[in-house]
Every structure is written in C-alpha cells, then in structure tokens.
Amino acid sequence: MNDAAAPENMIRLPGGEFQMGASDFYPEEQPIHSVKVNGFWIDPTPVTREDFAKFVAATGYVTLAEKDLDVSVYPGVDPSDLAAGSLVFSQTDCPVDLRNSGNWWQFLKGANWRDPLCDGAALDGSYPVTQIAFEDAMAYAEWRGMSLPTEAEWEYAARGGIEGAVYPWGNEISLDGEIMANTWEGDFPWRNTEEDGYTGTSPVGIYPANGYGLFDMVGNVWEWTIDWWQDLHDASPCCAPANPVGGRKQNSYDAMQPEIVIPRKVLKGGSHLCAPNYCLRYRPAARIPQMIDSSTSHIGFRCVVRD
C-alpha cells in the first residue's frame, strides 16, 4: 500500500526486526527472541466510544454483553446468572487477597459498551470503548476493512522504535517527572492516589505518544490481538520468524479450568488497573490470556491494515 492509498487517520509503520519478550518480569513473556514484521498501518489510539457508536448505528450490531448467554456453554451455572451483562471492576475498601480476582470483579446485568460501569454515568465519545468481547472487536475491524494486530505487530508498535526498553519511552515509569500513561498508583485494589488524574479509563491521546506517534499503547485499556494464547513464546534457534501469529486454538484453553471449554486470545498493554503490587503489565512485552467470550470494563482494541 502506498501513501496515496493511506487509510484515514492511521499511522504506517515500516516493519523490521526487533527483540520480542522480556526476562525480568513474568514467565509468560519469555524467552526474548528476534521477530520480523512487515510494514502495516495502525490506529494511533484505541477505538473510541464515538467510533464504535458509528459502527453500531451503521450496522445495528449487538455486542456479546448485550445478549443472554447460552446455558449449554456454561454447565452448572444458574440460568438466572446468564442474563446479558459483563464484568465490572469494583474498588475495595481495604486490602484483600490478591489471589482471588473475585474480590474486585463483579458480573453486572446490564453492563455493556453503552454503560460500561453499569452506573448510568455518561462518558463522552473520546474515551476508549470497553466491554468488548473478541468477536465484537473483529466485527468492528471487518466493517472498516481491517484486522486486529498480531501480538508481534502490537508489541513492535508499542515499543516505538526503542529496542529493549521496559516501557515505550524508556526504563523508568515516568519521563523527567512526567506521567506517561494511565495506570494504578497506590495499592491495588483498594487505594488509588490518582496521580495521573484518573481512577478509571481516560480519554484517548492525553498522555504523550511513543516514538511512532501512537497513544495509550500501555495503560488505560488492555487490547485484543488475533493470536491464540500460548504459555511461552516460540523461539527459533536459527532465525527470526517473519510475521508470527502465536499459538493454536486447541492449545489455548485454560488447563486450570478444564470444565470451561472456551479458547483464549492474547491481550496486550495493561490497563488503568495495573499496579506495581499486582499487575506490572503496562509494558510492551507484557501479555495475558483472555477467553474470547469475555468483555470487561478495562478491555478495548485498535485496528491494523497490512501492506
């Protein structure tokens, strides 16, 4: 694709080779390995509520969180708990057991992209759209004639051309005293000092862009990729793989929950809920698995177009 056919409001990255992964944080980010990606175009920010509203108005699309769940997919669950809704973060009043995420996540009937916290509060269109399941993100991307990024493309973009740095801007959490991303300051999940000015999500593009001119590549909201989850990166002993696409669907299921047969995709970037004491994942190398049927108040996405 040449500049004359440039997608509107997207940024083109030339592609190249980079070191993917990290070795100093969480085991699933290993091993560090060389990867090549071709050039591609990418949204400079996560998809916003305004963007998504235009898609819904044009197509009549209904998100997964707006539909009652299929009881056959969730054996043993009370049918009354399968009404339309989604997961919403609830700040606790005091320290809690960090091994149990049920201490701060609630399934709320009626939570969806229109009312992501299920509180009736009005968020303007410049905030990232959340409560988006994988199929919702894909439907929007296909409507635009685009795709979701691979994990490798996403991480390459997030690094902003800085090789081997912890964050998109360097190795320190702030840059010359400036807050660079919307993350959790304080003790998760009960005390947030709000040094970045926000407790929840923030409008896109208010923190500094990385070296490629991309905003919110870490913090604010997690972002979907098209890669199926695998516990560790594949690494070739001889050469850098070109445009890798992650693991296999049949290997992406959660072995700790064998009764739930729902495959998982890779999320990247961390969110406003990531904190040093719990989830130090507002870094390009960070990654977590997410079941494709899940939507939450801290997951969004952005789109790409490949050359």
**Closest to 92 measured CA to CA, from 221, 273, 220:** 273
For the cut 60, the answer to whether the pLDDT of residue 3 exceeds it is: no
Letter string b/e over residues 119-154, b meaning 16 or more CB atoms within 10 A of that residue's CB:
eeeebeeebbbbbbbbebbbbbbeebebbbbbbbbb
Measure Cα distances from 165 to 161, 266, 295 in Å. Answer: 10, 21, 30
Place of tokens 């997690």: 222
1, pLDDT greater than 70: no
- Which pair of tokens denotes residue 106? 């609630």
| Percentage with pLDDT > 90 across the chain | 84
Task: For each of the domains in the chain, give its residue range(s) and CATH number, in order of start.
Answer: 7-306 (3.90.1580.10)
User: Measured between alpha carbons, how far is 76 from 80 in angstroms, rounded to an integer?
Assistant: 12
Measured CA to CA, the distance from residue 278 to residue 89 in angstroms comes to: 15
Identify the band that residue 5 occupies on the pLDDT scale cut at 50, 70 and 90.
low
Task: Please say if the pLDDT value at position 254 is more than 50.
Answer: yes
**Rounded Cα gap, residues 258 and 262, in angstroms:** 9
Among the ranges given (18-22, 166-170, 235-239), the one the predictor scored with the smallest mean pLDDT: 235-239
Which one, of 182, 209, 200, 155, lies nearest residue 17 by Cα?
155
Strand partners, 48: 128
The pTM is what?
0.94
Whole-number Å distance between alpha carbons of 205 and 97? 34
- Report the C-alpha gap between 53 and 226 in whole angstroms: 22
For residue 4, name the pLDDT band (cuts at 50, 70, 90): very low
- Counting DSSP H helices and E strands in the chain, the numbers are 3, 15
- Pinpoint the alpha helices (H) of the chain: 49-59, 134-143, 151-159
pLDDT value of position 259: 85
Binning the chain into helix, strand and coil, the percentages to the nearest 5 are: 15, 20, 60
